[in-house]
């Protein structure tokens, strides 16, 4: 026989719990949105916080509030959340270990956005690459070379490397580049070619003449086939250091290739 009194008591009990849960979810949703908008307004009112990091922090706080609300709703229905939280913690740990490289880039992106070692439009050298900063996101840093080539660097590599910002201090700067070259007439010819190229480069400032000098004796054990280190220096605008250096490296690489080809041709002719 159906006991309507018990059914009515269960209906009232679970109905009230469902009503409380709906009200709590609504309040939690409103509170999460309110806190998110408040953080965004607070962050946008100052210039010291990047919009990207502000959006990230606001979204993070919003989802944390929603997670607390969901746990509270489960407790209303008598569901033990201790084991659920433990399972979620273990799953989060496993996901974190699987995505540790991505999370490392995320953490590095947050640090870059907070400390701002460079800003958009700066000419930088980082992780062996040189270019102008086009964009900075939570995971990637985008550089553009003078040849209009895109370079995407993971933020972990950027944050963990030495950052040379050529734009921080405006004014003339001394550009220096060291490279190895053949000793003797071949190296002297290469030095003259580099100096001539720098003299006609409009980015090199007038006044101080570009120069190339021997900075180190690398290997002189073989007569006629020794190697020395040459250092080229020139006065350029701070923002043009990376571009001039990149163009100079390309020219040196091309000149070294011609010297190697001429040497092989001479050996073949002598043979």
Burial of residue 46 (CB within 10 Å: 0-12, 13-18, 19+) is: exposed
Contact between residue 159 and residue 108 where contact means Cβ atoms under 8 Å apart? yes
**pLDDT tens digit sequence for 142-190:** 999 877 889 999 999 999 899 988 888 776 878 888 888 888 888 888 8
Q: Three-state SS for 245?
A: helix
Closest CA to 212 of 242, 259, 251: 251
Which DSSP helix (H) or strand (E) runs through 270? helix 241-270
Answer with the residue of higher pLDDT: 79 or 109.
Answer: 109
Half-sphere exposure of 58 (CA within 13 A, CB side): 19
pLDDT of res. 267: 45
pLDDT of res. 42: 82
CA–CA distance, 183 with 225 (Å, rounded to integer): 7
Per DSSP bridges, beta strands 163-165 and 123-126 are antiparallel
Residue 218: partners with Cβ closer than 8 Å, 6 or more residues away: 180, 226, 227, 228, 229
| Average pLDDT of the chain to the nearest whole number | 79
Indicate the range of 27-36, 50-59, 92-101, 189-198 predicted with least confidence: 92-101
Q: Taking the model in full, what pTM does it have?
A: 0.51
Determine how many CB atoms are found less than 10 A away from the CB of residue 188.
15
CA–CA distance, 69 with 84 (Å, rounded to integer): 14
Answer with the residue of higher pLDDT: 149 or 44.
Answer: 149
**pLDDT tens digit sequence for 113-154:** 878 888 888 888 898 888 889 988 888 899 998 778 899 999
**pLDDT tens digit sequence for 204-261:** 888 778 888 888 887 776 666 678 889 999 988 877 887 888 888 888 888 877 766 5
């Amino acid at each position: 026989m159906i006991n309507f009194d018990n059914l009515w008591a269960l209906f009232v009990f679970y109905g009230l719990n469902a009503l409380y849960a709906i009200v709590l979810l609504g309040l939690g949703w409103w509170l999460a949105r309110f806190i998110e908008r408040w953080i965004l307004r607070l962050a946008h009112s100052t210039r010291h916080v990047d919009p990207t990091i502000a959006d990230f922090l606001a979204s993070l706080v919003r989802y944390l509030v929603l997670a607390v609300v969901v746990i509270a709703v489960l407790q209303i229905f008598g569901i033990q959340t201790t084991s659920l939280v433990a399972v979620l913690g273990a799953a989060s740990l496993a996901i974190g270990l699987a995505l540790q490289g991505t999370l490392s880039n995320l953490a590095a992106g947050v640090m870059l956005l907070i400390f701002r070692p460079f800003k958009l439009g700066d000419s930088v050298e980082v992780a062996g690459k040189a270019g102008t900063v086009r964009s900075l996101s939570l995971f990637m840093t985008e550089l553009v070379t003078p040849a209009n080539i895109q370079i995407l660097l993971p933020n972990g590599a950027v944050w963990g490397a030495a950052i040379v910002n050529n734009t921080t201090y405006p004014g003339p700067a001394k550009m220096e580049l060291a490279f190895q070259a053949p000793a003797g007439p071949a190296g002297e010819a290469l030095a003259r070619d580099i100096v001539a190229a720098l003299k006609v480069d409009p980015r090199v400032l007038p006044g101080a003449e570009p120069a190339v000098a021997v900075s180190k004796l690398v290997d002189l054990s073989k007569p006629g086939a020794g190697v020395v280190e040459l250092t080229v220096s020139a006065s350029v605008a701070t923002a043009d250091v990376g571009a001039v250096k990149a163009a100079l490296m390309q020219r040196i690489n091309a000149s070294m290739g011609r010297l190697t080809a001429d040497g092989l041709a001479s050996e073949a002719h002598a043979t």
